Amino acid sequence: YQIYLEIFENQQRDNVPIDTFVCQKRALLAQLPEGRHDEETELDLVYGLLNIKYRKNILRQDLKTFRELLEKGRIIEHNNLEVEAEQNGPMRGSKRTKRCTHCNFRGHTYEECRKRKSANEGNE
């Protein structure tokens, strides 16, 4: 019963890869007496603990083996990483710093340029 407690103790967190999570749970299931559960039942147990982002995209009835679960999970993980990289990555030209057209220094604009303002004050 202690092994079952460990199995159901926690669900998969967002930052835990599917490979790691499934391997941990399968290692716990392997500690049970042999023949206790068939692979289909073990899949049911592990599938129920998966993160919702996997369960949304992988239907339980489509899985026959843990290998299929891992293959489909890796695809989802890879796609999620690509989406995050697109969202978080710098867009070309979007992170430009301000550059003054008068003195050509960065960090301020023509309107804010102290060099231009002091030159104008000296001319007046």
For the chain, which residues make up each domain, given as ranges?
2-88, 93-124
* pLDDT above 90 for 23: yes
- Spatial separation of the C-alpha atoms in residues 41 and 32, rounded to whole Å: 13
Residue 96 confidence (pLDDT): 64
Residue 80 CB neighbour total at 10 angstroms: 14
Three-state SS for 29?
A: helix
Kind and range of the H or E element at 30? helix 18-30
* pLDDT above 80 for 104: yes
Q: Which two tokens stand for residue 114?
A: 């102290």
Residue 92 confidence (pLDDT): 58
pTM: 0.61
